[in-house]
Structure 1
């Protein structure tokens, strides 16, 4: 969805307010003496005491203070934060339902349902329902991720009653209308420009990159979680096939009040808003299932280090820690650790531009389990120093040995950022949509992160890290630049592929000298069969390569990439390329290309110079047949069918162990020659002599040697 706004939006007022605050901050920087307390230190007195966190934040109210929690009998959770200095009111609802909850063959249904809620519950279409907000100078939007859906509304503070009523129509008592579904289907398709799958995309999905060949998600590798792989917006076919009853069933199943968490923040009249919310939301009946966001983990312990090489200039260092079975307290410590690391690493590693784009530190929570990620791109020559500093900071925080002044400075930055970034209704309500909507994890109240950071000690953080941040549940990735010129690396790979092709033809496939044979007929394929054969060749090749890749993943992840050696990684890539070349080379070696008759044997020559050799006496029969005669007879089971013409006859050569069904230009002549040579070989064997060579010159089917 795209936000909607109007000329009467309170955004202009907020912009003026921010400009005034910026001017005030500029005056503080230019002339601090104008605002300083003249009698604090005296005109000739300097303070050598560091400005610590406690002295500068002692009498400051936490932005998380006075957040009320209202839990209703129907399961609805409402948080309320009165902010009298604000000129707007914000409404936010977060539902722990997203793309992971899409049913099979209905990908994108969670996102489609998000669109449909903006038709309201009183028969409006989308434009009419959103115009109600536009006319009052407000804006609204929504978003869907794989694990949650978030709706929000922002209005001038005097429109708070309308906001509660409109938000109730947005969320509750929906009966979707077919006409509105058709309109929103077009909007969903246009949002990401969905199109029907092309033949190449179908081949890619089923053969080149099938789901079974994809590497398991890291959450699955490390903690054993079942993480669905869904397309968030959905496919063209699934979105077009989605019907009104599908959306209604999804809404009825998941959009019960027992799964919703609502946040109201802004300049609400406290004495009136509670009664108004009770009137509109408390009577909603619960329906559908209660969503469980927690899943038991099965940790796969073992520290992992992975080294890779690329043509990029810088060194990338990434460290991932997994924390199973988190609770409310763990979330607060993880947030504090992430923020401390972010402030320190970006401050220190960008001083000398060691970190080209800074260091990103983030955390994620999935099904009640956490992941902490630090990721930075470092200039060559500084990488080892940067890697060592990252490990040093982790170690200091883990052991509680960071200098006290440094820790206090970092903590002050955390508190300053909370005060600066969380003074608006929008920023406060954002915490609900990011973390606090998960009741299984957070309970029924919002923790005061400001007070938590203010009271936390380095010793307590170290104790928590020792219990939860474990090296045997971590992945360290290092991406280094290739030590050789990228084009040289590509040239080596091409040379390996060509060498593998040459050796494969020489040793695995026996060449054939056609000058030693007297009778050659080409096997014919129609244009349709040729095209389908090429497609099948590509698909089978990629399937076999994917099967090899799946088999090689374990070696790649646990052995090869764990060793910091460019040449070992390159040798492994070359080995895989060589094996893939040999596999691809041998696939066409199963496709008949020519029928060759020699004096003492006959053979089916395939592509890639490979032949299947048979004695004439192995032939049981040779005759012309239609395809349906071969398919609907017992002979079809041991038969290799290479002629798929529906109306023309093909050549069926029946052997003792198998059969061939092919097509040549002269099927009758081939049959006659095969049976004549079989009879001659049989006579020679019984007479103890050989007349085959003499009969070759008498044969009316003699042709010149063919290349």
Structure 2
């Protein structure tokens, strides 16, 4: 059972007790990401995530790392387009210690200028590593093709040019603007009872920062095409289609449909592109949801000379899906696969912490597993037809990385 508490300053806490385990995962979720940036400070959310690990007023970066190593714990973080998360997984006996360190990082990070300059070099290397992975970077190109100059089209890592300009004061100002109590959720899952909420509230329940009213601009899906010449062994192709926003009532229908399209080894794209034609080792599709829209993506990598055949094969697969929908067997199997994946994904404290934190931060509501199973079971041929017509009614966006594009 999920327990919720809102502190006097507006910060929210969600806790799920799992007495059958000996671990506890604690996550700090902040409603800020690359979507909340400008062209000039693009990448600051991700760089700030790095700097929270680089020392506080009382702990060095090495001491933070050693603190978790000494108790056999794990600490990490990630930044997305709409949120940032810092989390730690420890034995239940060390939960209070882990909470104290996370709070120290959250409130007392020093943002030392020398540490910043060193960490900028680390992020420069991260950007270069990303650029050297065309099957990753092509998805960023697709976001830019699909959303244009809207912040959802910005890369999460930013650019070297922007990073060079960041100062300690820039980071502190961004924290003041975005790391406000109303934008923060503390999510906990594991062998921990309700009394732990009091400990969390003692650290996070009293801080105040000015809450500014932010109105997000809803992006318009654009059927743009972006191509990049790169000396690669394969051509990397991404196709984008208009998706559904977070919490849309048709989400499960779209997920069921996507499973059949390209979400598994038995999917149509996998069978048509890889198994029957041998055109690609990697081919798949997935749906990304945002607060006010979504994006369905198809990816495949193949030799440059096979690119026309790959595109024709994908288009033929899509045409058949648009024309005939799913078979009874596909609908049944996809629903069972989705239910199985959902249940298996909720077996760890990490996954429960993540699911609860994200739901509280973005949706402010939680559904039981039984409710989600009912929604999956309710998916029908009619609801599948509805999402097919919505998703594929407009032209597609395209991103392509390949050698010597003519």
Counterpart of 2:145 in structure 1 is 218
Residues 186 and 437 (structure 1), Cα distance of their counterparts in 2 relative to 1, 3 Å cut? farther
Measured after TM superposition, the shift of residue 467 of structure 1 is 6.2
How many residues align? The count is 384
> For 1:154-173, what aligned pairs fall within 5 Å after superposition?
154-171=89-106, 173=107
Residues 93 and 370 (structure 1), Cα distance of their counterparts in 2 relative to 1, 3 Å cut? same
Query: Which structure exhibits the higher relative contact order, with contacts defined as CA atoms closer than 8 Å and separated by 6 or more residues?
Result: 2
Offset from partner CA, 1:378-433 (integer Å, 9 cap, x none): 79697556643343234443xxxx33233212222222222333311123334467
Counterpart of 1:444 in structure 2 is 365
Give, in whole Å, the separation in 2 of the partners of 1:407 and 1:80. 35
Give, in whole Å, the separation in 2 of the partners of 1:264 and 1:163. 12
Give, in whole Å, the separation in 2 of the partners of 1:113 and 1:311. 33
Offset from partner CA, 1:80-116 (integer Å, 9 cap, x none): 2222232321112232323454567555433343233
Give, in whole Å, the separation in 2 of the partners of 1:444 and 1:403. 34
Verify the 8 A CA contact 1:259 1:291 in the aligned structure 2: no
Q: Does 1:261 align with 2:157?
A: no
Residues 103 and 237 (structure 1), Cα distance of their counterparts in 2 relative to 1, 3 Å cut? closer
Counterpart of 2:212 in structure 1 is 289
Counterpart of 2:240 in structure 1 is 320
TM-score by length of 1: 0.46
TM-score by length of 2: 0.75
Counterpart of 1:339 in structure 2 is 259
Give the 3-state SS of the residue equivalent to 2:25 in structure 1: strand
Residues 89 and 131 (structure 1), Cα distance of their counterparts in 2 relative to 1, 3 Å cut? same
Give the 3-state SS of the residue equivalent to 2:53 in structure 1: helix
Residues 393 and 80 (structure 1), Cα distance of their counterparts in 2 relative to 1, 3 Å cut? farther
Give the 3-state SS of the residue equivalent to 1:472 in structure 2: coil
Verify the 8 A CA contact 1:115 1:184 in the aligned structure 2: no
Give, in whole Å, the separation in 2 of the partners of 1:168 and 1:330. 38
Residues 358 and 125 (structure 1), Cα distance of their counterparts in 2 relative to 1, 3 Å cut? closer
The one of 121, 126, 129 equivalent to 1:189 is: 121
Measured after TM superposition, the shift of residue 372 of structure 1 is 0.5
Offset from partner CA, 1:254-301 (integer Å, 9 cap, x none): 111211133211222x24223333433333334343555x4234566x
Give, in whole Å, the separation in 2 of the partners of 1:91 and 1:167. 9
Measured after TM superposition, the shift of residue 250 of structure 1 is 1.6
Give, in whole Å, the separation in 2 of the partners of 1:102 and 1:227. 9
Give, in whole Å, the separation in 2 of the partners of 1:194 and 1:369. 28
Residues 306 and 395 (structure 1), Cα distance of their counterparts in 2 relative to 1, 3 Å cut? farther
Q: Does 1:279 align with 2:202?
A: yes
Structure (1 or 2) with the larger CA radius of gyration: 1
Offset from partner CA, 1:41-98 (integer Å, 9 cap, x none): xxxxxxxxxxxxxxxxxxxxxxxxx334433342323332222232321112232323
- Gapped runs of 5+ residues in structure 1? 1-65, 196-213, 491-569, 574-707
Verify the 8 A CA contact 2:45 2:79 in the aligned structure 1: yes
The one of 341, 345, 349 equivalent to 1:417 is: 341
> For 1:371-386, what aligned pairs fall within 5 Å after superposition?
371-377=295-301
> For 1:123-134, what aligned pairs fall within 5 Å after superposition?
123-134=58-69
Counterpart of 2:13 in structure 1 is 78
Q: Does 1:407 align with 2:331?
A: yes
